Amino acid sequence: MTELRIDERIDERIARHHPELTSQERRAAEALLEHLDDLAIYRASELAALAGVSKATMSRLFRSLGFTGFDEVRDHLRALRGTGEPRRTEGPPDLAAHAEQEAAAVADAVLQPGVADAAAVLAGARSVLVVGWRNSHPVALHLREQLVQARPRVALAPLPGQVLGEELADLGSGDAVVAVGFRRRPAGFAGFMAAAAATGADVVLLGDPTAAGHSGSARVWLPCPVQGPLAFDSYAAAMSLVGVLADGVLSRAGRAGQDRISAISAAYSRLAEVE
C-alpha cells in the first residue's frame, strides 16, 4: 500500500486508495462519502449499518485511509471546516442560536480597541488602497464604497484583469493600505502583506482569526470572526465593522466630509444615477 499523506482530504484519500479496497470497504467508503456533511450525528456502528457492512469493516476502512478511528475522521472534517471549506457537520441548524452568535460576533468586531486606531489611520492617510481577493473582495468593495463618500483618493484592488504591482508602486509613507484577508486567502497573501509594509504605508489588516499570522506586517490588526453553525461563513460582523470604520473616518473628516457627501449627492442628481 502506498504511503499515506496526512494533509490529504478524506475524499482524496478514498479516491487514491479505492483500487486497493475490498468490495465491502468500498461500500463503507460510499456510505462515508454520502454522509460527510452530517457525520456528527452518527456513531460508527450506525454508519456501518447504513453501508450494510460490519463495524469491523468500517474500522478497517478508517485505518486504510490513515485514521486511527471514527473520532479522528470527525476531527479531520472539523479541521476542514476550520479552513473555511463549506461543510454541514450537524443536523438542521439552530437558527436562534445562529442569530445570537451573529450578534455576539458583531459586538466583538466593532467594540475592539483597534477600530479607533484603524479609523484614525484611514482618516489621516494621503491615499487609501483597499485590497481583497475571493470572499474578501465584497468586503473590500463595500469598504471602498463607504470610505470614498467620506474622503478622497480611495482605490480598490485588484480590479478584473489587474495585478497589484502598479498599485504598490504609488504607495509610500503617509498612505494607507487595508488588506482584507479572510480565510481561504490566495497563496501569495503573505508576500503581498510584506510588500505593502515595505512601501512605508500604514497597513490595516482585517480578517478572521486565521489571518493572525500575517498581522506582523500590519500597523493595526482587526480580527473578525466568520465561522458559525451554518455551512458557509458569515460576513455580517465584517460588514458591520466596515460601517463602523467608515463612520469613524467621516466623523474625523468633519465639515470637509459632509461637504464631500453633499457634492457626491449633487453629482448623482445631475447624472440621474440613483433613485
The predicted model gives 145-150 an average pLDDT of 94
Q: Is the pLDDT of residue 173 over 90?
A: yes
Mean pLDDT of the chain: 85
Q: Is the pLDDT of residue 242 over 90?
A: yes
Ordered structural domains, the chain, with CATH = 10-82 (1.10.10.10), 96-271 (3.40.50.10490)
The predicted model gives 89-93 an average pLDDT of 59
- Strand order in 128-132's β-sheet? 154-157, 128-132, 176-180, 202-207, 220-223
The reported pLDDT for the residue numbered 229 is 64
In angstroms, the CA 204 to CA 222 distance is 8
- Taking a C-beta distance cutoff of 8 angstroms, is the pair 10, 73 a contact? yes
- Taking a C-beta distance cutoff of 8 angstroms, is the pair 127, 183 a contact? no
Radius of gyration of the chain (CA): 24
Q: What percent of the chain has pLDDT over 90?
A: 35
- Taking a C-beta distance cutoff of 8 angstroms, is the pair 128, 176 a contact? yes
Q: Is the pLDDT of residue 1 over 60?
A: no
Residue 269's contacts (CB-CB under 8 Å, 6 or more residues apart) are: none
How does pLDDT run across 16-69, given as a tens digit for each residue?
788 888 888 888 888 887 777 667 677 888 888 888 899 899 888 888 888 888
- Taking a C-beta distance cutoff of 8 angstroms, is the pair 240, 226 a contact? no
In angstroms, the CA 159 to CA 35 distance is 39
- Taking a C-beta distance cutoff of 8 angstroms, is the pair 241, 112 a contact? no
